[in-house]
Amino acid sequence: MWVKICGIRDEETARWIADLRPDAIGLNFYEPSVRSIAPAVAARIARGLPMEIEAVGLFVNHSLDDLLHRVEDCGIGTVQLHGDEPPEFLKEILDRRPDLKIIRAFRVGRKGCGALGKYLADCQRLEVCLAGCLVDAQVSGAYGGTGHTAPWDLLAEDYDSDRWPRLIVAGGLTPDNVSEAIRITAPFGVDVASGVESAPGIKDLALVRRFLEAARTSPAP
């Protein structure tokens, strides 16, 4: 099970979490977020990670030039888009940096995955290949990080794993519920931020350790 710990803001926390060997850490460049990180700190963290841990840059409605500038400065190979970026924007990213991997975040509510499917069809038409689809809870006015869970039952029914990119489940995951989320949705990976924090934006190492253990010991779907 691929596991990403998102919203790391300082080098000491990054070193602690890297010692636990998640598959990826998330560096949040969305300034209004309580989990946002200074670009210079992000660069030091990303360049200091062990090779087996992936640094993922999180962006929300950034300009193309700003996104590419931060990716270049930090040496980041994967971007995670959480805003209103259309498929055409993803195409522009890959036209400029075909080596980058893109994870697209979607907010899914009780209406299911219809809008997600249409978006992915447009990506296919533009020959945009995604590294994964991260599905978070749909909360009005928020781009993520709300602590609300996505509708796991609808994902299990509606997500077309045979034709769509690899599913990454996010939203409200904790050490206590991640096994259930994995059992129901059968994802490629899971992503956590608030569920391993002692306070908003403050990672709790014991919770991170418990989350990793729970995710990786969950029975294979």
Q: Is the predicted pLDDT of residue 145 greater than 70, yes or no?
A: no
* CA distance linking residue 121 with residue 133, whole number of Å: 13
Structure confidence at residue 56 (pLDDT): 98
Give residue-wise pLDDT tens across range 82-105: 999 999 999 999 999 999 999 999
Characterize the bridge pairing of strands 202-203 and 167-169: unpaired
195, 141, 201: which is closest to 170 by C-alpha? 195
CATH value at residue 142: 3.20.20.70
Residue type, position 38, single letter: A
Q: How would you label 63-99 residue by residue, b for 16+ Cβ within 10 Å and e otherwise?
A: eeeebbebbeebebbbbbbbeebebebbbbbbeebee
The pTM score is: 0.93
Question: For residues 167 and 135, is the Cβ–Cβ distance under 8 A?
Answer: yes
94 occurs within a structural domain: yes
Query: For the chain, what is the domain count?
Result: 1
Structure confidence at residue 36 (pLDDT): 96
Give residue-wise pLDDT tens across range 198-220: 999 999 999 999 999 999 998 75
Active site residues: 6, 136
Mean pLDDT of 95-123: 91
Q: Is the predicted pLDDT of residue 9 greater than 60, yes or no?
A: yes
185 occurs within a structural domain: yes
More confident residue, 165 or 156: 165
71 occurs within a structural domain: yes
221 occurs within a structural domain: no
Q: Is the predicted pLDDT of residue 168 greater than 70, yes or no?
A: yes
Which residues constitute the domain of residue 148? 2-216
Chain centroid to Cα 202, Å, comes to 18
Structure confidence at residue 147 (pLDDT): 63
* CA distance linking residue 80 with residue 60, whole number of Å: 9
* CA distance linking residue 178 with residue 195, whole number of Å: 10
User: In which residue are the tokens 């609300």 written?
Assistant: 148
Lowest mean pLDDT among 33-37, 123-127, 151-155, 217-221: 217-221
Structure confidence at residue 22 (pLDDT): 98
Structure confidence at residue 150 (pLDDT): 80
Residue type, position 48, single letter: G
Read off the tokens for 178: 């991640």
Sign of CA dihedral 135, 141, 145, 150: negative
Lowest mean pLDDT among 11-25, 59-73, 99-113: 99-113
183 occurs within a structural domain: yes
